[in-house]
Every structure is written in C-alpha cells, then in structure tokens.
Structure 1
C-alpha cells in the first residue's frame, strides 16, 4: 500500500486533474499513491460532508496497478449515484428500492471515463431519483456544503460538487435535467458545464432522455479540466437521435486562443418569484465590468419567453417519463413499488404523471418544443448570454427537502433556478462559473449560455475570466491540504 504523506496531500490538493495526470506521466507520483490519497481524504473529510455514499476503494486500488492510459491516467474520480452503469458495483439512485441492485455492464459513458484513465473510487450522493436542487435523500442523509454546513450544496449532483470543492477528487461525474450540474457548481464554487444537446450519448441503455433535455458531464475546479473532459467523453453512438457540431480542434487546444470580442447579452430580471437577490445582482454587475474590461460588448436583454408558463409543462414531461421508467423497472424486478418506497415529493410526482391524459402529455411536449425554438431564435444575436445561475444565494439545508409532498408548493420554489431548465429544454450549452463570494464565504455562480454546439466559446470566455478571478485558488474551510 502506498504511503500518504502530508507533502503528497498538499500536492494532490493543489493540482487539478490534468496536473495530476502529468505528474503520473512524469513518474513523480504513481496512480496508487493518488488513489490512496483520495481514499485517505474520503476517510478524513467525508464524515463532515457525506458526499461519498458508495465506496469502491479495493476496485480503485486494483485498477491503479495497471499502466496508466488516456489523458487522465491515474486520476481518482467519482461516479454519480444515478444512471451510470458500472459492472459489478451497486447503483441505488438514492432510493432504498434499489439497495440490492448491482450493475451487469458498463454504460458507454463509463467505458469512456475508464478509457480516459480515471480510477473510480466510489459514487457520490444525490437526492432520491435526482429531481431536486438539494441533496438530502432519506436513504443516505444530506450532503453538507464544504463552504458552510448551514447552506445547501445544491443538487442533484451535490455529492459530486462537495467532494470536488473539498478537493477529495479533482473532478467528478455530474448530470443535469434542470440545473443539476450548474446549481451545485454555483453553490460550491465550481465550474459546471451542461453540454449541448447531442454532445453526450445516452447509450446503450437509452436512446433519448426527456427529449434531449438531460446532459451528463462533470463538475471541475478549473476550466481546462472541463475542456479536456469534453475531449475525452464527447461524441454520439450509432443511432443517437441528436448530433452537435464538433470544432475543428479539440476543446482543450481551443483554450489557447483568447476569445474574439464577443457580443454578450445579459439579464437581471427573475423569470418569476422574488427579484434577483442583491448579492447575486452585485456579482453580475461586477462580472459585466470585468467583461467590458476584457474587451467584450455587453447589453441588457430580458427574455421574452415566458418561462413560468413553460415550467409546469416541463415537469409534466419529466414526471411521465419517470413514471414510465418505474413501470419498466418494477416489471423487470417482479416486485411492486409503492408510496412507502418514496419520499413524499417523488410519490406526488408519480401520481401526477398517472393523472395526465395522452393529449395533455402531447400538449406539454409541444409547449416545451415551442419554447426551445423561441429561446434559440431570441438568443441567436448573442455570442454568449449571461444570467444568474441561481437568483438567490444558496438556501439553508432543508429548504429543498423532498419530504414536502405538496408538489405545486415545492416546484414553485424552483423560481431560484428558473434560468436552469430553460437551457435543458432548449439544448443550448450552459456553463456556471464561480463569479463571486458573498461575504467571503458564500459562492455565487453566474451562467454563460452559448449557441448550440458552441461550447468552445463558453470555455474560452470562462478561461479568460478564470485567469483574472483565479477562482481555482479558493479553498473552503472543509478541504484537503
């Protein structure tokens, strides 16, 4: 077993994923040393975070003995405890019903993650079934934010974000159907990219998820790690229904080119609910000054698309699709699933799904697709569109608890994240960047939205901002090193 020294921990905590992989290639550290460091940090920090709920330490140690390959060879990594199939390991989706489930194969994304050289040390905590922007499942308990245990770490990729912010791992898998990459990135001070529709495959388990509204990717501390990860995992499988154009050079290589003068639209108007909080507005105004100083043109533009009107239709789609998923699962398992298996909110969503007619479902699909079209047309004049990630600072732990079974009341609270689902349904790439720290201790994220297929512009702009703001150097109270 490799010895973990304080010097190794400091080196590990100070390095992003690409830097760690470079150390491995230079034989300055071994993959096993990195794995043992990650394990030691899980054991030391996770009692305060509850971010890593399934641990696969022995599998990671075994994988670390093979020669490292790929751009991230030897780098520790966490899968999210939703959806991603990893042969021979548990996957619960945060739900006790799946406590005995073991994956019988690797999904294509997991195959690509392994091929990139990552060493999988476990799975991160998520809310039950994922439909929450907090991470407080009944099965595992809440994940704490390493910046402040009183505020949410976000969700649904909250365990991933907490672990990356605490430097347990340099990046971790995340997925996003309504802000679940970008919200925890914002709450934990990280970079969170939701790629374009068609950029990441759903195969082979699924052909389509929520009409292309779900994106699977990661959360990182640095922009270059996000770009390199996109190089490693992007691309369709044969038969995928959506395609996104690919740049002539890789996304990481593209960071070497500073962005040309960009036309950047922005809004400070909350789509519904309370006005944008003063701390968030201050972060956006300061960012606008930075963008102008960097040579970009900024202009205000409030969205004409009525997102509040579309929100119930989007929820109808995800409720129906989730209900259909559970019908398939219970038929295969031969064991019925009932109210006692779910937290109250999820049960109310399933009951709502079963109350909808086929015509109502079709009307929701049409409304969401129309909003997608209108958003793309409305934002086409801009190279980048800037919004708050969350219109309010991170809420207290418990605010997003799915123990609240009042569906309409719970979903109304999502006004904080009203700018999230808009870019799931539209399929446009969206990137949350850690723009500011309120009172020096509360991360505030802002969202950069691009044209379909143009992650490259978002990443180049974010890299330019990162070089000025140096958010990669910020470290929460609960962290390695």
Structure 2
C-alpha cells in the first residue's frame, strides 16, 4: 500500500492540473483490472458513466475535486446501479434512487466508479457473500480483509482506489481497518447522512463513513459528510469550524487515556493484540500523556445479547417486507444460513424484549459517560487477533444443521443458536460493538504488524461528538511514525 497517495494527493494533482479526472478514472480501472482478480474487492463497475461524469460535471469548488471512489454495495445506493447487499434475494435489484449519504459523497467531489463486496446483509465480520465469493486480504490473500466493509478495505489497501465508502453497525469499518492496515473511523451516531429509505440504521447502531489511508483524508471526509438532518431520528450538533484545519494547527491536547486489554465478552485476546496496545501505551507515555489501565464497568455479554435481539427483530422486519414484495413466504434456500438463523430468532423477539434491549444500550451509554468524566479516551485492541484465514469455518457442521432447522426450534433455542453461531467470530472481534450501541465515535489505527506480516489495529473511543479528539490522537500516532 502506498500511504502517500491518498485521496488528497490525487485531489492536489487535479487542482494543480497535473492530472484530469478522466486520467485518474482510467488509471483506477487499470489497477482494478490487474488487481481485483486477486482480491475480489470490486463487484460492480460503471466506467463509461464515471468518465461521462468526469467530462460533464464541474468539480472546481468541491473538496475532493473529481477523485474516483468506490462505494459499498450495502445501504449506499446510487440510482440506476445494482444494490444487492450481498444477498441472493437482491442479486438483480437496481437502486431506484440515490441515498442521501452518496449524494453527499458526490457533492464532496467524488466520482463513483463502482461498488465493493460485502457479506449478505452485512451480518458478518468477514466478507464472503455466496453471490460474489470471498474478498481477500492484500497483506495475504489466504486471509479475509474482514467485514462487512471487507471489499472496501481490500480495494484501498491494494491501491485500486485511494479511498472507499464503508459503514459500521458493529465494527464493520474498524474491523476491516484493523485487518488491512487502514484508518477506520466510526463517527458519532447521527453525524453523517441517512435515508431516504431507512433512517434508523439498526436503531442508530449503524452509520456510514469511509476507509482511508491517512488521518488527513479522514478529517476532510468528515468535513464533507457531517450534517444535521431535520428528518433524522438521531442528530449530533455540527462541529464548529473544520476538522481538517483543526488537525493542521499542530496543537495537540494532552488527553487522559485509559487502556484495557480485557475482552468485553471474556474471550481470548492474542499476545499480538496486547502488544499492539502496550506499544501504543509506551509511545503515549513517552510523549507525556497520562495513561492508566482501566476497564469500563459494562457487562459485555449481556450487551451483546441485547445487540442480537435488535439485529434479529430488524432482520425479521426487513425480510417480512421482502416476503410481502415477492408475494410468498421466504425459505432457507432464499438466503445464507447466518441470515436464516437471525431471521428465525427475530420472529421470537417481542416488543418488550426489544425495549429492554435498547434500555441496556442506554445504560451502557450512561456508564461510558461516567467513565469519560475520568478519562478522555479509551484505548483497546481493535480486534483480538489478526485476520482469519479465508477457509476458516466459524461454525461446526452440527451447528450449521441446527441453524438450518432453526425455524422448528423453540424461542430459547433460536436465541442460543444465534449466540453459538457468532461465538467464535465474536471472539476475534469483541471490542468494536460497544461504541455502536452507546453511539460514541471510535477509530482504528494501523500501528502493528504480526511476525507473519498481518496488521492489527488499536482502537480509541471518545465521548459523543468528540471526533476531533480521535483525529488529534490519530495524528499524534501518524506523526510519530507509528503507522505500519
């Protein structure tokens, strides 16, 4: 990966007239044609439309000036283009309208050249949709780039594009960032555009943003995309001024930082992940930061159970709508087994169950608010280990058979099946979900490589609305040459 050639590098070439948008698009497609067969990151392209837009649209007063970008094929619709969500049910679906998020991306001066691979409905922390095949990690193609924004991560890490849009409902920006050596920010709930189809995004757990190579790209992207929508159920006050200009003042705040090596769900954390954090701690202490080991008092297992209850109920609602549209009941053959098991569990989640689950989210958010009275930032591993191998089976054949037959299981059995289904994969990525449920911003930074050459990121979490703090500490790590 050439970290120097980020989106702002290419925007600079355009501004200085050292390159044209058409030339950048042609070059991007040359890279895609050469590299994508190795990594299966890009699943749809729009070369001629993109070239036509480069010739006819005026990008002179935009932040990114005509830079090509890939967008995630999940909830980030572009009118007239495929919108499969990695799903068999939607494999022939064409988006009838453009999402507000992608409208904002285009207003920022990007030209959409294609779409990236995701797991079905974004339910996994790896990317292996049956309709597209697995995405592969540019650091080692026998390993996954993560999920659900795995295609986006693989495309950026392999230099097909300098930046790609992504989304994060449980770590789906930060997990791929950790596995592929990228900067991955999940903004505060309500920070970026939503709608017009879905406004709540897993009750605010899910948010759209981007995967980048550099902190400056992340900062300028946040300038471009931050918003307050009157129609949106979740809103965050606009950051006054500019994240990008604020970053470049060079004024660095001496944060009070807590660090934790404990998995929230009591799973095993690898020695590599621990070393990634401790090396970061040593760096920060040498720079004069106050750093102390402290873990928030939150029951991560109960919180994950509340997350799955929401996910199940939302999946039931989504697939119920699809069934109505098709005029028939959906069967196990219409979707992948993970989707089917979540769907069957969701049918058993009552309104009371749902309300209690969201109440646990709010309690966790209140606890984190108290935690931040003492500590500005929380430092953890982003992931508990490096990327898993492509062929790793996270469910046994016995469990997969239970998943297949979950429509005949009791309500309690369906709940247990979902927990068991995700138990091993959650053990690899136990740190990211909490910020989705509390609504806080969190960022993964590429600070560590294993002996095998696979990246592992560290995650900083800040109070709501404090993305500028995350960009500040990220810039410190980048400026001190801690990025790997």
TM-score normalized with structure 2 length: 0.92
Structure 1 residue 68 displacement after superposition:
2.4
Q: What does residue 297 of structure 1 align with?
A: 290
Q: What does residue 367 of structure 2 align with?
A: 374
8 Å CA contact retained: 2:152, 2:211: yes
Q: Does 1:416 align with 2:406?
A: no
Structure 1 residue 59 displacement after superposition:
1.3
> After superposition, where does 1:87-126 map in structure 2 within 5 Å?
87-126=79-118
- Cα distance in structure 1, aligned partners of 2:308 and 2:134: 24
| Aligned residue among 261, 280, 283 for 2:276 | 283
Q: Does 1:138 align with 2:130?
A: yes
Structure 1 residue 410 displacement after superposition:
2.2
User: Mean Cα displacement is larger for which, 296-305 or 185-194?
Assistant: 296-305
Q: What does residue 144 of structure 2 align with?
A: 152
Structure with the larger RCO, 1 or 2 (CA within 8 Å, 6+ apart) = 1
Q: What does residue 193 of structure 1 align with?
A: 185
Q: Does 1:265 align with 2:258?
A: yes
Structure 1 residue 234 displacement after superposition:
1.1
Q: Does 1:182 align with 2:174?
A: yes
Please give the per-residue CA displacement for 1:388-415, whole angstroms capped at 9, x wherever unaligned: 1011222222336689435332221203
Structure 1 residue 151 displacement after superposition:
1.9
Q: Does 1:425 align with 2:437?
A: yes
Q: Secondary structure at the match of 1:97?
A: coil
Provide structure 1 residue ranges, at least 5 long, that are not aligned to the other structure: 1-9, 475-481
User: Mean Cα displacement is larger for which, 281-290 or 63-72?
Assistant: 63-72
> After superposition, where does 1:1-400 map in structure 2 within 5 Å?
14-66=4-56, 67-69=58-60, 70-257=62-249, 258-334=251-327, 336-399=329-392
- Cα distance in structure 1, aligned partners of 2:445 and 2:382: 9
Please give the per-residue CA displacement for 1:350-391, whole angstroms capped at 9, x wherever unaligned: 001112222222222222222222222223321111011011
Structure 1 residue 99 displacement after superposition:
1.8
Inter-CA distance 139–380: structure 2 relative to 1 (3 Å threshold): farther
- Cα distance in structure 2, aligned partners of 1:71 and 1:427: 27
- Cα distance in structure 1, aligned partners of 2:204 and 2:160: 31
Structure 1 residue 256 displacement after superposition:
1.6
Inter-CA distance 231–335: structure 2 relative to 1 (3 Å threshold): farther
Pairwise CA RMSD: 1.8
User: Mean Cα displacement is larger for which, 30-39 or 362-371?
Assistant: 362-371
Inter-CA distance 272–311: structure 2 relative to 1 (3 Å threshold): same
8 Å CA contact retained: 1:195, 1:428: yes
Q: Secondary structure at the match of 2:432?
A: helix
Structure 1 residue 13 displacement after superposition:
7.7
Provide structure 2 residue ranges, at least 5 long, that are not aligned to the other structure: 404-416
Q: What does residue 435 of structure 1 align with?
A: 447
Please give the per-residue CA displacement for 1:40-78, whole angstroms capped at 9, x wherever unaligned: 111000000000011111111111113324111121101
Q: Secondary structure at the match of 1:83?
A: coil
Inter-CA distance 139–368: structure 2 relative to 1 (3 Å threshold): same
8 Å CA contact retained: 1:259, 1:457: no
Please give the per-residue CA displacement for 1:263-291, whole angstroms capped at 9, x wherever unaligned: 01110112234332111111111111111
8 Å CA contact retained: 1:435, 1:446: yes
8 Å CA contact retained: 2:226, 2:238: no
Please give the per-residue CA displacement for 1:99-124, whole angstroms capped at 9, x wherever unaligned: 22111111111111111111111100
Structure 1 residue 342 displacement after superposition:
0.9
Q: What does residue 7 of structure 1 align with?
A: none
Number of positions where the alignment pairs a residue of Structure 1 with one of Structure 2:
462
Inter-CA distance 168–401: structure 2 relative to 1 (3 Å threshold): farther
